């Protein structure tokens, strides 16, 4: 099956203590503490984390993994843009679930002094993309970060947290390792991701087998993200949504690319095997329901972006309740008051 080159990107935005190294110019791989089960005892065990590690390791071992990196590089560049929007330099930064380092490659050493990159897949760390920033790679789980409290000025995470069993714990860990007035900038897949593939598989499986099983992993709802960030201790929160659409020759090319990205489903309740007739029927449904004019089919990736700050006394705070000097009922009179003030100034002249 030929490898797909993505035909088009389109998107819309909706409102809405460290590891020592002797030579910073060399990439160092260190081992971090991790839970054997990949989840905290109180977490829902939705994903097979060992399988996800194997999927990511397999993807990173491919002869040309960069052919499948187009989506992760795009999202990594958008996270880097959000870092550049903050008018400060970050002496020490951390990338949680870095993969092959899709954020660091878009940043420069003037903005970030040193980058720690963590991931559960050792092959992804070994095959990391080149960057001018001194980088240290640490094999660690997102839920069990092996760093001291108040270590990093910046933490980023790009398209990794949607595979975490205990997202609240992962966010708490990120908050823990941030310094006061440090910032977290993250991105994860949202609930409408691959809705075309999900609907096609469900319709085909229902028609051919009399019922369907989940084939696309569950995602966090955007309405929950703000609550989870606040519960983890973050303030001055920003959550927004992008949709990136990539066109593929057909459903099978899409599924091949998902495997190449290391984004195959790893939920425990996934169906291990789909019948050949069901797969062919799903591909036909995909073409019939979603085909573009040029014969390609779209796949939608919904991305949630989040920004949260760790509290510091120097940060701006909202005014205390009842401290306002003008009521909402008087806001409509502001233009009249301003025009009267201008007339008085003219008379004085």
Residue of higher predicted confidence among 31 and 258: 258
Q: Is the pLDDT of residue 20 over 60?
A: no
Residue 316: per-residue pLDDT? 61
Mean pLDDT estimate for the chain: 81
Give the pLDDT confidence of 289-309 residue by residue, as tens digits.
999 999 999 999 999 999 999
Give φ, ψ of 163 to 5 degrees: -100, 5
35: in domain:
no
pLDDT for res 98? 95
84 CB-near residues (< 8 Å, 6+ apart): 107, 111
Q: In terms of Cα–Cα distance, which of 38, 287, 276 is closest to 165? A: 38
Least confident of 5-14, 275-284, 308-317: 5-14
Nearest-5° Cα angle at 158, 47 to 163: 5
Helix (H) or strand (E) holding 227: helix 222-232
Phi then psi for 280, rounded to 5 degrees? -65, -40
- Domain assignment of residue 290, yes or no: no
Q: What confidence tier does 158 reach under pLDDT thresholds 50, 70, 90?
A: very high
In a domain, 172, yes or no: yes
Q: What percent of the chain has pLDDT over 90?
A: 58
| Six-digit token string for 86 | 């903050």
Which CATH number fits the domain that encloses residue 154? 3.40.50.150
> Could you give the number of structural domains in the chain?
1
Residue 60 lies in a domain: yes
pLDDT exceeds cutoff 60 at 41: no
**β pairing state of 297-310 and 178-189:** antiparallel
CB within 8 Å of 214: residues ≥ 6 apart: 265, 267, 269, 270, 271
Tokens of 166: 């205990």
pLDDT digits (tens, 9 = 90+) for 163-174: 999 999 999 999
Report if residue 12 sits inside a domain: no
The pLDDT value recorded for residue 223 is 79
189 belongs to a structural domain: yes
* Residue-range definition of the domain harbouring residue 161: 49-193+219-247+301-310
Per residue in 75-134, pLDDT (tens digit) is 999 999 999 999 999 999 999 999 999 999 999 999 999 999 999 999 999 999 999 999
Domain-embedded: residue 139: yes
3-state secondary structure of 30: strand
Residue 21 above 60 pLDDT? no
Distance of CA 137 to the CA centre of its chain: 19
160/149 Cα distance (integer angstroms): 22
Instruction: Give domain status of residue 16, yes or no.
Output: no
């Amino acid at each position: 099956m030929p490898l797909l080159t993505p035909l088009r990107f389109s998107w819309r935005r909706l409102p809405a203590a460290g590891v020592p190294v002797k030579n910073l110019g060399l990439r160092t791989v260190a081992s971090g503490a991790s839970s054997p089960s990949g989840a905290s005892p109180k977490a829902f065990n939705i994903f097979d984390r060992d399988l996800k590690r194997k999927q990511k390791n397999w993807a990173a071992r491919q002869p040309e993994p960069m052919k499948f990196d187009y989506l992760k590089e795009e999202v990594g560049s958008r996270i880097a843009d959000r870092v550049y929007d903050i008018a400060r330099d970050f002496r020490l930064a951390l990338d949680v679930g870095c993969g092959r380092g899709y954020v660091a490659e878009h940043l420069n050493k003037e903005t970030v002094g040193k980058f720690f990159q963590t991931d559960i897949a050792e092959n992804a760390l070994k095959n990391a993309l080149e960057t001018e920033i001194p980088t240290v790679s640490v094999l660690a789980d997102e839920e069990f970060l092996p760093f001291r409290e108040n270590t990093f000025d910046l933490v980023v995470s790009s398209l990794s947290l949607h595979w975490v069993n205990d997202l609240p714990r992962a966010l708490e860990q990120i908050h823990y390792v941030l310094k006061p007035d440090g910032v977290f900038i993250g991105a994860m897949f949202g609930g409408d991701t691959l809705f075309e593939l999900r609907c096609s598989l469900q319709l085909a499986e229902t028609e051919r087998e009399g019922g369907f099983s989940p084939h696309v992993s569950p995602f966090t709802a955007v309405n929950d993200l703000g609550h989870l960030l606040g519960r983890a201790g973050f303030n001055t929160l920003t959550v927004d949504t992008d949709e990136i659409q990539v066109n593929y020759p057909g459903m099978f090319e899409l599924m091949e690319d998902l495997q190449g990205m290391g984004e195959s489903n790893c939920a425990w309740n996934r169906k291990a095997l789909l019948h050949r007739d069901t797969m062919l029927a799903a591909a036909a449904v995909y073409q019939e329901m979603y085909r573009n004019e040029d014969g390609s089919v779209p796949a939608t990736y919904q991305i949630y972006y989040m920004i949260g700050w760790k509290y510091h006394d120097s940060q701006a705070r909202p005014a205390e309740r009842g401290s306002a000097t003008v009521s909402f009922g008087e806001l409509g009179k502001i233009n009249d008051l301003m025009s009267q003030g201008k007339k008085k100034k003219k008379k004085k002249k």
